[in-house]
Chain A
Amino acid sequence: MRHGKYRFIIGFLAVPVALYAVLVISPFIQDFQISLTDWSGLTPEKHYIGLDNYQKIIHNNLFWKALWHNVLMLLIVPLVTLALGLFFAFMLNVGGRRKGSASVAGVRGAGFYKIVYFFPQVLSVTVIAVLWEQIYNPDPDNGLLNNLLGDVGLTSLQQSWLGDPSIALACIMAVMVWSNVGFYVVLFSAGMASIPGEIYEAALLDGAGRFVTFFRVTLPLLRDTVATGWVYMGIIAMDGFALVQLMSVNNGGPNESTDVVPLLLYKTAFRDNSQYGMAAAIGVAMLIVTLLFAVLTLRLSRRERIEF
């Protein structure tokens, strides 16, 4: 009996694990292997050079600068995105005026807003990048943002946006938030819908307002969903490649103020004399940082679950 059960379970696990090993684990191992070589990516030959690539990375200022930008994104983008997502989801589901017998209701037009928030999610990253490149166009007539600012008389606030090293990274982070917030509105809405109405009713009877309801009832009960969202967002922030590559001036500029590690990896592999070995080493460094982040997040958010 016992043996049969194991065989049954192993039979089911073998295929997915093998697939995982071939498609996920083996590239990691191979990446590490390549990172120990001076491979150019253009020929079959490569020579092992030990940890030279890693040594070069450690002494490369640009790598640390790029990593810092990733860390900044990691700290700011998930926080802002999730906070906005929670806020919008709360308003759409719980925050409205109660009507009739319903204990909770969203603001008027909630259904419409839900769809609108989700729009960016359907657009490809490239479309989003090109769209925002036009919005950020510094031209006072052709650039949407500067044009709007001009129309309301705030010409002093007109910026060169992506061309200004002090705000370029923030501009790109804003786009990341904009393009992801809709997904979390939907995710959190689903989470909130599964919270029983009785809990809200009880809170109501105790005289809780919107503010208290949110922080004492909704947020604690959504903890798991938020933690998952946090890991997802963190991984998106650790990447940031596509938007930075498409939008930033001078490939991570101005003056390297928006460079991120994946972009550095890309440039090292595909442009700067085709240094595949070095790029692979950067990839390994990325892997370590991402793993650290995921482990930390899951550790910190581990808590007892409330069943309902």
Chain B
Amino acid sequence: MGSEINRRDAIKRAVAIGVVAVPSASLLSACASSGGGSDKPKSEPTGAKSATNPLGVKKGTPLEAFIFKGGFGDAYVKAAETVYNSEYGIKVKHTGTQGLGPKLQPRFASNTPPDVMDNSGADNLDTAALAKENKLQDLTALLDAPTIDDPSKKVRDVLIAGTVEQGQFGTSAMYAFNYAFTVYGGWYSNKLFQDKGWEYPQTFDQALALGAKAKKENISLFTYPGKYPYYVHFDLLAQIGKVGGKDVLNAIDDLEDGAWQVDAVKQVIGYYEEVAAKKYFMPGSEGMTHIQMQTAWTKGKAAIVADGSWVENEAAPTMPKDFDLAVGALVGSGASDKLPFGTVYAAAGEPYIVAANGKNPVGGMELLRIMISKKETDNFTNTTKSLTCITGASEGLTLTPGLASASKALTAASANVLNSRLQDWYVKLNQETLGNLTLQLLTGKIDAKKWIEGAQKAADATKNDSSVPKFKHV
């Protein structure tokens, strides 16, 4: 071989160099997981507090906003940022995105998060986990600040009931400010119902009777997006609350032992089993995305869909002009229910969070305070066709049919508003585990008994999983 270097030797040497290079390399890249800085909030740059600046924002301090750009877009936030800019003499650094989680996780890990975020969408950050890690600013100061329109009123006083609770994670601190208010229920075309002479059902029996009538006309009673089976839970969970009362629903949220094995659950799940057995769900729903499902629904192939009030905006491209969108309240067993017909499931959504150790947490809260001024809420409702979490904010505005119907349903329900926390406290349990069971129930692969058994088992497993942070109704 002589002076020839054979391949094997060359490789050996290359590996040796690699071994030398590795330790220094891991030093170099160590910053990927061990960020600099301590976990404690940095000293907040605050300015003098005044009547127009109650939170004490320091002029000229930069502010960074990371906004989920989904169904609502992000123009409404930009409008509020313009106000902030002129007030505090800076330009808010704005990012609109659909993937907050992957983008912001490293920034939280290295303690350089943006100041204010709209933490919504499928790829959002785990708000509960962030709250548990003390990464989020307690927004109590914002709640106690006066509103812009009427300084005699605190922010806390103008929020729709339930908004504060929606932002709490097992303690009295409020970490998420849910800006939009969503009314859930059975959405239908008033025109279709009037043309056919149908009435929106109030009881399970009426719904089944309507299903039979609709089937004769080749219309399915219900549809749902199989890709996101938790849409069905918007109705299903709240119906359990309507039949059995708020305590039953809270017990389910609190993962109490045997919470699913009560009569109210049996009635509701039994009803879904019957609807599935009679084939009143639109065939193929189990393989559809929400857009595909909504397209079939706006074409009149299905009568009712469990959805949130965002559907008016989302389905607008395929919705006929004379569709006359309306929402129906929760369907229950009847007179034996704990809550009357007219009970709705409504919750504040679109959670805004402020980073505790950002550069300008006070500024983040101030931006939220600007966003709930009459000017900005009007803008939001007009442009996104959605309600905000501010009481009576939609008064005096010309509402679209769906929004008007939702607003009316909310007023009619008065105190009978249900809110299942399962969907934000235990995302995996609600969406995936229960979602899988629901898909099987709706396609007739399992019966109600199996569903309830599976749900109880899944809830127990979540309860016993030490990696899942637990929450309780306060």
Q: Which of A76-84, A104-112, A267-275 contacts B (4 or more CB under 8 A)?
A: A267-275
A residues 17-51 in Cβ contact with B at 8 Å? 17-18, 20-22, 25-27, 29-30, 34, 39-46
Kindly state whether residue A300 has any CB partner on chain B within 8 Å: no
Query: Smallest CB–CB gap between A17 and chain B, Å?
Result: 5
Residue pair B288, A25 in contact (C-beta under 8 Å)? no
A residues 231-261 in Cβ contact with B at 8 Å? 248-256
- Given contacts A29-B22, A255-B439, is CB(A142)–CB(B32) below 8 Å? no
- Given contacts A39-B33, A271-B428, is CB(A133)–CB(B289) below 8 Å? yes
Query: Smallest CB–CB gap between A121 and chain B, Å?
Result: 25
Residue pair B26, A137 in contact (C-beta under 8 Å)? no
Q: Which of A7-15, A186-194, A208-216 contacts B (4 or more CB under 8 A)?
A: A7-15
Residue from B28, B39, B299, B428 within 8 A of A44 (CB atoms)? B39
CB closest residue in chain A, given B3: A2
Residue from A22, A40, A253 within 8 A of B21 (CB atoms)? A22
| B10-45 near A? 1/0 per residue, CB < 8 Å | 100110011001100110111011111101000000
Kindly state whether residue A183 has any CB partner on chain B within 8 Å: no
Residue pair B109, A44 in contact (C-beta under 8 Å)? yes
For the A-B complex with A6-B13, A14-B17, A270-B123 known, give 13 more contacts whose Cβ atoms are closer than 8 Å. A1-B3, A5-B5, A17-B17, A18-B21, A26-B29, A40-B129, A138-B288, A139-B284, A143-B284, A163-B288, A249-B226, A255-B436, A274-B126
Kindly state whether residue B283 has any CB partner on chain A within 8 Å: yes
Kindly state whether residue A224 has any CB partner on chain B within 8 Å: no
Kindly state whether residue A160 has any CB partner on chain B within 8 Å: yes
> Could you say which of A137, A250, A252, A256 has the most chain B C-beta atoms within 10 Å of its C-beta?
A250
CA distance A164 to B439 in the complex (A): 10
Kindly state whether residue B86 has any CB partner on chain A within 8 Å: no
CA distance A143 to B293 in the complex (A): 11
**9 intermolecular pairs with C-beta atoms under 8 Å apart:** A25-B22, A30-B33, A43-B109, A160-B283, A163-B439, A164-B286, A249-B226, A250-B436, A271-B126
Residue pair B284, A138 in contact (C-beta under 8 Å)? yes
Q: Which residues of A contact B (CB under 8 A)?
A: 1-2, 5-6, 9-10, 13-14, 17-18, 20-22, 25-27, 29-30, 34, 39-46, 133-134, 136-143, 146, 159-164, 248-256, 267, 270-275, 278
- Given contacts A43-B39, A139-B296, is CB(A160)–CB(B26) below 8 Å? no
Kindly state whether residue B133 has any CB partner on chain A within 8 Å: yes
Query: Smallest CB–CB gap between A62 and chain B, Å?
Result: 10
CA distance A89 to B360 in the complex (A): 61
Query: Smallest CB–CB gap between B100 and chain A, Å?
Result: 10
CA distance A35 to B35 in the complex (A): 18
Query: Smallest CB–CB gap between A38 and chain B, Å?
Result: 8
Query: Smallest CB–CB gap between B434 and chain A, Å?
Result: 10
- Given contacts A2-B3, A250-B435, A251-B432, is CB(A26)–CB(B22) below 8 Å? yes
Q: How many residues of B contact A (CB 8 A)?
A: 63
Q: Which residues of B contact A (CB under 8 A)?
A: 3, 5, 10, 13-14, 17-18, 21-22, 25-26, 28-30, 32-37, 39, 101-102, 105, 108-111, 123, 126, 128-130, 133, 135, 226-229, 283-289, 292, 295-296, 299, 301, 427-428, 431-432, 435-436, 439-440, 443, 467-469
- Given contacts A44-B109, A254-B286, is CB(A22)–CB(B25) below 8 Å? yes
Query: Smallest CB–CB gap between B455 and chain A, Å?
Result: 14
Counting residue pairs across A and B whose Cβ atoms lie within 8 Å, the total is: 187
CA distance A192 to B286 in the complex (A): 45
Chain B positions within 8 Å of A250 at CB level:
226-229, 431-432, 435-436, 439
Chain B positions within 8 Å of A272 at CB level:
427-428, 467-468
Chain A positions within 8 Å of B439 at CB level:
163, 249-250, 253-255
Residue pair B3, A5 in contact (C-beta under 8 Å)? yes
Chain B positions within 8 Å of A134 at CB level:
292
Residue from A30, A42, A138 within 8 A of B105 (CB atoms)? A42
Chain A positions within 8 Å of B227 at CB level:
162, 248-250
Residue pair B129, A274 in contact (C-beta under 8 Å)? yes
Residue pair A137, B292 in contact (C-beta under 8 Å)? yes
- Given contacts A1-B3, A142-B296, A271-B126, is CB(A9)–CB(B286) below 8 Å? no
Residue pair A9, B29 in contact (C-beta under 8 Å)? no
Residue pair A13, B129 in contact (C-beta under 8 Å)? no
Residue pair B18, A21 in contact (C-beta under 8 Å)? yes
Residue pair A275, B22 in contact (C-beta under 8 Å)? no
The 3 closest A-B CB pairs, nearest first, are A163-B287, A138-B284, A163-B286
CB closest residue in chain B, given A259: B432
CA distance A90 to B128 in the complex (A): 57
Residue pair A162, B26 in contact (C-beta under 8 Å)? no
Chain B positions within 8 Å of A146 at CB level:
284
Residue pair B26, A30 in contact (C-beta under 8 Å)? yes
> Could you say which of A1, A146, A164 has the most chain B C-beta atoms within 10 Å of its C-beta?
A164
